[in-house]
Amino acid sequence: MAELSLPFDRWHYPVKKFYDLYDSSIEEPEDFWAEQARQLDWFRTWDRVLEWEAPFARWFVGGTLNACHICVDRHAKTWRRSKVAIYWEGEPGDVRVLSYSTLYREVNRYASVLKNCGVGTGDKVALYLPMIPELPIFMLACARIGAIHTVVFSGFSARALADRINDVGARLLVTADGGFRRGKILPLKSIADEALTMCPSVEKAIVVKRADNSVTLNPPKESWLHDLLEEADPYVEPELVESNHPLYVLYTSGTTGKPKGIVHSTGGYLVHNYVTYKWVFDIREESVYWCTADIGWVTGHSQIVYAPLAHGAATVIYEGAPDYPAIDRWWDIIEKYGVTIFYTSPTAIRTFMGHGEEMLKKHDLSTLELLGSVGESINPEAWLWFYRHIGGERCPIVDTWWQTETGGIMISPTPGIECLPLKPGSAGLAVPGVEVDVVDEAGKPAPREQRGSLVIKRPWPGMLLGIHGDPERYKKAYWSQVPGYYYTGDYAVKDGDGYFWVLGRSDEVLKVAGHRIGTAELEDAAVSHPQVAEAAVVGKTDPVKGESIVIFARLQEGIRPSADQTKSLTSHIRSVVGAVAVPDEVCFVPRLPKTRSGKVLRRVLKAVANDDSIGDVTTLEDESSVQEVIQAYQELKEGKGPGAQKNYAKGKPKKEKR
């Protein structure tokens, strides 16, 4: 896809141009990052910009700061006290508008609640909440007292919540009675109740009243937030922490069954997010910014909470589903709040594309100035649709590549510095201070236009501190594949202009509607079903979600496939992992194709599900297993095979959007 020369005159201002800034950042990285870091409020300046004991990086060592002070206090002390910090809209249509001074008052009171519950610096707090203002307020309140938050996405099950609480060792859990999703109530408190039976470390639970569904609290261990707030102090001194004090732990999927607790620092993380937010989104005082991610994922942490608030920006948060009560809900929100910067996912864009442009006609989207995309590759068709129909052919699109582990944006156009030509489908160049490349299997730079592994060549401030409690896994997962470089797990191509085109994961991780799901995690969940003997999970290309989940499973001896088995396995996975991981297809097979050493050849299963050529199968123990899989899958698709395959077409489980 050729580049587009677009009429973005506004973004060509006579400041230091992109390449000058980039080159200087790479020549003198520590000076460069120190200069960026000075834009934040430090209570003590760092002794060293970077301590790099490969593969562990520590940024701004010895510097002290407080993330809540940076995101709230420093604005509440200026004219921004009356500026809107958060425009919040609930799914039922209720609205709350929080100015920076209101946010200041609330974070102080919530910090006091946490302290009164015995939470102190370094303690871990799990947050299992819907997208309501209480979630960012609790995150900031934790940061205020130096406690470390672990947000668990509300689409995860009780078991998944318990695993995360136990791994991190949380002392306190904050949840809500329920949250709204597509007109229904998600019963968070009862899911949390089940989780807490498995979590000995949790001493106390706080419950936010949101959906007014009936719940039972078990005092004194469990309390309503509104009761605790009655006893709260109006001011809590921010705890000054060293730059490498963890701000949060966020779990993400890897190549083993156990999710990784990614630990982020305070100083490096904030510096990275502060500056990239300005470069990428060109944030201005008058901007109204909306990122549609869920705060339960890293995009929400960095791009809804920490980066916008560190800038004193006005940010929109919406609780519910994009298509509730009607398909134009998002466009209604953009019009209502006068959103100028809109950041969303390719899956969302493709979903809307499928509904046509009629829904847009009712809405005035003329306030939009800049659009963004994140989480998965955006295909050129979706990019162009977004550009034409949402952006009215006047807004640049920033396709931002990054990961939970990188903490902040790494590859993206940077209109806030200079808007270089955009290429639909490419995330563009690395941002200043960040050096990435595409390498071949030997770790040498891959020739231009050829696929290789995307690597990061030097430490960056937003870089993870490590994996919670597992330094060996950290080294193995990111630093053992390509010597000296951080391994991203993505395939990419670098084109003749040096632009990066990210092609998707090279490991056993799926990207379903932008959500990161480990196949090993799903396989562990599947085989924990009493009637499943073996399972292998693969991704299937999906025109809207990017990938969908296909499970190939062998049942225990004597159990016949049936529609009930499909249903039972599907609901088992929902209860072990959560609604986010519900499979799109379940195919029962008599045998899984294996090598002579007993390894399941997922490559073959992936080819079958995607209708690709099977390739070489000479390493298989028994090649006829491939025919069996092909036949079983065909029967599943045609709805005419034995048992489950036959009935599956009729009773196909509803696709989950969450």
For 369-512, where are the alpha helices, taking DSSP H only? 380-385, 471-479
Among 112, 265, 403, 562, binds ligand PRX (CB under 6 A): 403
d(CA 22, CA 30): 13
Strand blocks (E) in 132-238 = 148-151, 172-176, 179-181, 184-186, 204-208, 222-224
d(CA 325, CA 469): 43
Contact flag: residue 399 with ligand PRX (CB under 6 A): yes
Q: For the CB of residue 501, give the shortest distance to ligand PRX in the complex, in Å.
A: 9
* Binding letters toward ligand PRX, positions 514-543, x by CB under 6 A: --x---------------------------
d(CA 517, CA 463): 21
Which of 369/490 has CB closer to ligand PRX? 490
Q: For the CB of residue 508, give the shortest distance to ligand PRX in the complex, in Å.
A: 13
Which of 91/376 has CB closer to ligand PRX? 376
Which of 147/374 has CB closer to ligand PRX? 374
3-state class (DSSP) for residue 153: coil
Among 106, 376, 435, 523, binds ligand PRX (CB under 6 A): 376
Contact flag: residue 155 with ligand PRX (CB under 6 A): no
Strand blocks (E) in 322-381 = 341-344, 370-374
451 C-beta neighbours (distance < 10 Å), count: 15
Which of 372/561 has CB closer to ligand PRX? 372
**In contact, 148 and 246? CB cutoff 8 Å:** yes
Contact flag: residue 402 with ligand PRX (CB under 6 A): yes
Contact flag: residue 400 with ligand PRX (CB under 6 A): yes
Contact flag: residue 273 with ligand PRX (CB under 6 A): no
Which of 33/402 has CB closer to ligand PRX? 402
Contact flag: residue 157 with ligand PRX (CB under 6 A): no
* Binding letters toward ligand PRX, positions 473-512, x by CB under 6 A: ---------------xxx-----------x--x-----x-
Which of 104/297 has CB closer to ligand PRX? 297
Please identify, among the stretches 91-99, 128-136, 144-152, 371-379, the one whose residues bind ligand PRX according to the rule CB under 6 A.
Answer: 371-379
Among 375, 425, 518, 561, binds ligand PRX (CB under 6 A): 375
Residues 28-47 that bind ligand PRX (CB under 6 A): none
Q: For the CB of residue 431, give the shortest distance to ligand PRX in the complex, in Å.
A: 13
d(CA 592, CA 552): 8
Q: For the CB of residue 436, give the shortest distance to ligand PRX in the complex, in Å.
A: 12
Q: Which of 383, 384, 337, 392 is nearest to 361 (CA)?
A: 392
Q: For the CB of residue 403, give the shortest distance to ligand PRX in the complex, in Å.
A: 4
Among 377, 548, 562, 570, binds ligand PRX (CB under 6 A): 377
Phi, psi of 281 (to 5 degrees): -100, -5
Contact flag: residue 252 with ligand PRX (CB under 6 A): yes
Which helix (H) or strand (E) element contains residue 248?
A: strand 248-252
3-state class (DSSP) for residue 136: helix
Q: Encoding tokens for residue 649?
A: 């077409």
Among 57, 202, 427, 517, binds ligand PRX (CB under 6 A): 427
d(CA 249, CA 301): 11
Please identify, among the stretches 237-245, 264-272, 297-305, 461-469, the one whose residues bind ligand PRX according to the rule CB under 6 A.
Answer: 297-305
Q: For the CB of residue 376, give the shortest distance to ligand PRX in the complex, in Å.
A: 5
d(CA 335, CA 337): 6
Residues 61-120 that bind ligand PRX (CB under 6 A): none
Which of 239/399 has CB closer to ligand PRX? 399
- Token look-up 């921004």 returns 80
Contact flag: residue 298 with ligand PRX (CB under 6 A): yes
Contact flag: residue 264 with ligand PRX (CB under 6 A): no
Q: For the CB of residue 504, give the shortest distance to ligand PRX in the complex, in Å.
A: 6
Q: For the CB of residue 307, give the shortest distance to ligand PRX in the complex, in Å.
A: 12
Q: For the CB of residue 513, give the shortest distance to ligand PRX in the complex, in Å.
A: 11
Contact flag: residue 374 with ligand PRX (CB under 6 A): yes
Q: For the CB of residue 518, give the shortest distance to ligand PRX in the complex, in Å.
A: 11
Among 404, 519, 570, 647, binds ligand PRX (CB under 6 A): 404
Residue nearest to ligand PRX (CB): 404
- Tell me the torsion sign for CA atoms 549, 401, 345, 468: positive
Q: Which long-range contacts (CB under 8 A, 24 or more apart) does 183-188 make?
A: 183/91, 183/324, 183/325, 185/211, 185/213, 186/130, 186/154, 186/211, 187/213, 187/215, 188/128, 188/129, 188/130, 188/154
Q: Which of 218, 264, 220, 214 is nearest to 243 (CA)?
A: 264
**In contact, 589 and 634? CB cutoff 8 Å:** no
Among 299, 340, 481, 566, binds ligand PRX (CB under 6 A): 299
* Total residues interacting with ligand PRX, rule: CB under 6 A: 22
Contact flag: residue 344 with ligand PRX (CB under 6 A): no
217 C-beta neighbours (distance < 10 Å), count: 15
Which of 403/562 has CB closer to ligand PRX? 403
Which of 403/519 has CB closer to ligand PRX? 403
d(CA 80, CA 127): 28
Q: Which of 299, 366, 379 is nearest to 331 (CA)?
A: 366
Residue 241, strand partner residues: 65
The per-residue DSSP string of 6-65 comes to ---GGG--SSS-HHHHHHHHHHSHHHHHHHHHTTS--SB--SEEEEEETTEEEEEET-EE
Q: Which of 613, 640, 543, 528 is nearest to 584 (CA)?
A: 543
Write out the residues near ligand PRX by the rule CB under 6 A: 252, 297-299, 374-377, 399-404, 427, 488-490, 502, 505, 511, 516
